[in-house]
Amino acid sequence: MKIYLGGHLNFYHPQKDKWLEFKANHPMLLSGVLDNAGIPLGEVHLVVINGEKTDLQKTVISEQDEIKLFSAVGGG
């Protein structure tokens, strides 16, 4: 499955890619997936699953979910 890393979160992707891809054979805790991928949870400001804002800590994700994460942004 794929997770979109918005804002500066793709900084933590090994290839600086905006998409984090991984196998999900069963529902998983989003925070656990990010921990394993080396994305600091403290830098995730906004979690959107299938178009709805949600809570990072409580979210369980499945293969068919559309997942977007964003860091805090400001100024400009």
Give me the residues that bind another protein (CB under 8 A), please: 6-9, 11-12, 16, 40-43, 45-46, 48, 53, 68, 70-76
Residue 43 vs residues 7, 10, 17, 24, 51: alpha-carbon distances, Å: 10, 11, 16, 23, 20
**Least distance in Å: CB of 52 to another protein?**
8
**Least distance in Å: CB of 25 to another protein?**
28
Which CB atom, from 23 or from 76, has the smaller least distance to another protein?
76
Which CB atom, from 25 or from 74, has the smaller least distance to another protein?
74
Handedness of CA 49, 42, 12, 7 (dihedral sign): positive
Which secondary structure element, helix H or strand E, spans residue 58, and what is its range?
none
